[in-house]
Chains A and B, each alone.
Chain A
């Protein structure tokens, strides 16, 4: 089956630094990837939709200058949390849609990245 990986799985950083999270589709091409954030004991909230070769579309309330998304290839999207602060600590999960499957509503989820900002 389709596999999505994320790197790193866990990161701890100091307040004010920037952190980059990678999301890769390992065995399929993904024209569209999605980034979600999950706070403890809460559900997943869509942050942005990332389309290969174009600008990401951000959900209402998500700061695009703080959460930079780059989808430079059909297998890689990156999320950079700039000038991270403790309130950015969260579990970040990406998903990818298989461009060739024909099922436009099937998304495959990565294992998530747990970010802790001290």
Chain B
């Protein structure tokens, strides 16, 4: 099946810093989503982005489907950005496969 990898696995940032999270996937997919899981476990959808670039405030994402990767950019990070960021791909079999996540800690 499709393999989804994320890097880095852990990241510590000073408040105000920028960061880039990466998601690689091993086969073509129908869709790709980025999620933020907050410390209470709630999954918050950030982007549906099968290809191209999208921006939402301090966050933006780019997916290059032909090269099978996606990037999530976080600018001017805040402590509330802490949590785990997952990318998830939707396969041609209509299943969602999650990556292992990147655990982000933003310190004041």
Residues of A within 8 A of B (CB): 34, 36, 38, 42-46, 49, 91, 93, 95, 104-109, 111-112, 114
Contact = CB atoms under 8 A, between A and B. Distances in A.
Interface of B: 30-31, 33, 35, 41-43, 45, 48, 86, 88, 90, 94-101
A38 B96 CA distance: 14
A104 B48 CA distance: 13
A111 B86 contact: no
Contact of A105 (B35, B43, B94, B98): B94
Given A111-B41, A112-B42, A104 B94 contact: yes
A112 B86 contact: no
Contacts of A34: 96
Shortest 4 CB-CB contacts between residues of A and residues of B: A105-B90, A105-B31, A109-B43, A44-B98
A95 B86 contact: no
Contacts of B31: 105-106
State the main secondary structure of chain A at its contact with B.
strand
Nearest to A57: B95
Given A93-B43, A105-B31, A109-B43, 14 more contacts: A36-B98, A44-B98, A46-B96, A46-B97, A91-B41, A95-B96, A104-B94, A105-B30, A107-B90, A107-B96, A109-B35, A111-B42, A112-B43, A114-B41
Contacts of B35: 109
B6 to A, nearest CB: 9
17 contacts: A34-B96, A38-B41, A42-B100, A43-B99, A43-B100, A45-B98, A46-B95, A49-B95, A91-B41, A95-B96, A104-B94, A105-B30, A105-B90, A109-B43, A109-B45, A111-B41, A114-B41
